[in-house]
Chains A and B, each alone.
Chain A
Amino acid sequence: MDVLTGNAGVFASGFFVTFQIVLLAAVGALVLGTLVAAMRISPLPPLRWLGTAYVTVVRNTPLTIVFFMTAFGLPEIGVDAGFLRIPLLDSLFTRLGTDVPYFRFAIVALTVYTAAFVCEALRAGVNAVQPGQSEAGRSLGLTFTQNLRLIVLPQAGRATVVPLGSVIIAMIKNSALAGAFGVAGDLFQTSDELTSAQGLPAIPVFIGVAAGYLILTVPLGLLLDRIERSQAVTR
Chain B
Amino acid sequence: MSSQVLYDSPGPRTRRYTLIGSLVFGALALAGLYAFVYRPLAANNQFSADLWGPLADPSNENFPLVWDRIRTGFANTLAAATLAIAASLIVGTALGVLRFRLAAVVAAPRPRTASARWWAVRTAVWVLNVVTRVFVEFFRGLPVVLTIFFTARILPEYGVDLPTRYFLVIGLALYNSVIIGEILRSGMANLPRGQREAAEAIGLSGTQTVLSILLPQAFRIMLPALISQVVVVLKDTSLGFIISYEEALQVASQIIQVLHNPIQVYAVIAAIYIALNYALSRLATYAQRRIARGRKSPPGAVVPDVLVPSRLGGAGEGPL
Interface residues of A (CB under 8 A from B): 40-47, 50, 56-57, 59-65, 68-69, 72-73, 76-79, 117, 120, 123, 126-127, 129-131, 133-134, 138, 144, 147-148, 152, 162-163, 166-167, 169-170, 173-177, 180, 188, 191-192, 195, 201-203, 206, 209-210, 213-214, 217-218, 221, 224, 228
Contact = CB atoms under 8 A, between A and B. Distances in A.
Contacts of A147: 6
Interface string B158-179: 0000000000000000000000
Contact of B308 (A46, A77, A163, A174): A163
A192 B256 contact: no
Contacts of A192: 149
Interface of B: 2-8, 10, 18, 21-22, 25-26, 29, 40-41, 43-44, 46, 137-138, 140-146, 149-150, 153-154, 157, 231, 235-236, 238-239, 241-242, 249, 252-253, 256, 262-263, 266, 269-270, 273-274, 277-278, 281, 308, 310-311, 313-320
A115 B163 CA distance: 36
11 contacts: A40-B2, A44-B18, A44-B26, A56-B278, A60-B274, A62-B238, A64-B238, A64-B241, A68-B266, A76-B44, A77-B46
Contact of A65 (B140, B242, B249): B249
B232 to A, nearest CB: 10
Between B26, B43, B256, the greatest number of chain A beta carbons within 10 A of the residue's beta carbon is seen for B26
B5 A79 contact: no
B173 to A, nearest CB: 17
Contacts of B278: 56, 60
Contacts of B46: 76-77
Contacts of B252: 68
Given A43-B3, A77-B43, A131-B4, A174 B319 contact: yes
A224 B140 CA distance: 14
A63 B235 contact: yes
Contact of B146 (A43, A130, A163, A210): A210
A65 B138 contact: no
Contacts of A62: 235-236, 238, 249, 273, 320
Nearest to A148: B6
A192 B150 CA distance: 9
B4 A73 contact: no
Nearest to B311: A166
A69 to B, nearest CB: 5
Contacts of B270: 61, 65, 69
Contacts of A175: 143
Given A56-B274, A191-B146, 15 more contacts: A43-B18, A44-B18, A46-B29, A60-B277, A61-B235, A61-B273, A65-B238, A73-B263, A77-B41, A163-B308, A166-B311, A177-B145, A195-B153, A201-B157, A203-B157
Contact of A191 (B25, B150, B241, B269): B150
A152 B6 contact: yes
A202 B141 contact: no
Contact of B29 (A50, A76, A126, A191): A50
A210 B145 CA distance: 11
Contacts of A224: 311
A174 B6 contact: no
A65 B318 CA distance: 15
Nearest to A46: B26
B273 A65 contact: yes
A-B pairs, 3 with minimum CB distance: A170-B318, A46-B26, A176-B143
Contacts of B144: 173
Contact of A173 (B25, B44, B143, B266): B143
Contacts of A63: 235, 320
A214 B135 CA distance: 12
B269 A65 contact: yes
Nearest to B37: A77
